Amino acid sequence: MPIPTVVHYLSVHSQVADLTEHLSRGSQGPPTPVARTGLSDVYLMTLTDSTQVAVKCLRQHDPKHIKRTARELSIWSKLAHGNILELQGLAVFQGCLAMVSPWMAYGSVSSVLRRWPDIRRFPLCLQLAHAVEFLHGENVVHGDIKGDNLVMDNNGVIKLMDFGLAIMSEAVFQFSQTDPGGGTGRWMAPELYGDDPQRSKETDIYAMGMTMLEIITGDVPFREIKAGHSVGMAVAHHRRIPRVPELEAETASGQDLLVHALLKWCWKYDPKERPTAGKVVSVLGPLVEI
């Protein structure tokens, strides 16, 4: 499907604003990415009203990747919550279909933790749980929850982003989903390492627990396993869960012990035994001073 057709479809059916003509190109030559992910480049751009925005586009421009971007835009456009990064619109940028969102100057939660190591961690975990509770209430599975997909705004509010692997149930899209599996190794539930991996609310809960661990420790899950490719074997075949010395020490508070128990609940090997996001919110909420 040609990009102009996709832009028209999303503008009409998903009410996604076309910001192509509102991006300020400047006069200093072609823009360069300020960040790169596995599949995408992110550019810091300015709208004609001087608002700074992040423009994200996949490096591949073939029909498969155009469809992937269109699906992400279609799902993202339906999500409005304080802990979900806002989609401002789309743009045709340097020949590719791009997503436009507010610029988050503080960057990912990992960057925030390095910059402010004394920041209180449990309130950030609660904000993440609120985001996932909202998504699941909308029958959306995120599919790739991890610290790199969490950013913080200038008010200290955590925002979940990147819906490239998201699945929206009970919805009909012009742009179909072709890849049911996926995720990121250290955050992936054991069932995603099987022969028929299916992203689900339960795999989201597992990844959310791993991301909370990441927030609490400031390090990746299973930091004790140096080779990332070994994590799958440890999780799927040996039913291993991460060590959390920060919550297991003799000096651990009652709050620490409760949070550790909550994390282990999220990491249950059997998906049916994991809590819902709403249950996680109900457990974490009383532990956090709002």
Q: Which residues are catalytic?
A: 144
Give buried/exposed letters for 18-33 (b at 16+ CB in 10 A, else e): ebeebbeeeeeeebee
Q: What is the rounded CA–CA span in Å between residue 4 and residue 97?
A: 9
Task: Note the helical H segments in 54-189.
Answer: 63-76, 109-115, 122-137
* Cβ–Cβ under 8 Å, residues 77 and 16: yes
How far apart are the C-alpha atoms of 17 and 23, rounded to whole Å?
A: 12
57 and 69 Cβ atoms separated by less than 8 Å: yes
3-state secondary structure of 50: coil
**φ and ψ at residue 200, rounded to 5 degrees:** -155, 175
For residues 286 and 242, give the distance between their C-alpha atoms in angstroms, rounded to a whole number. Answer: 25
Which residues, other chains included, contact 12 with Cβ-Cβ below 8 Å and sequence gap of 6+? none
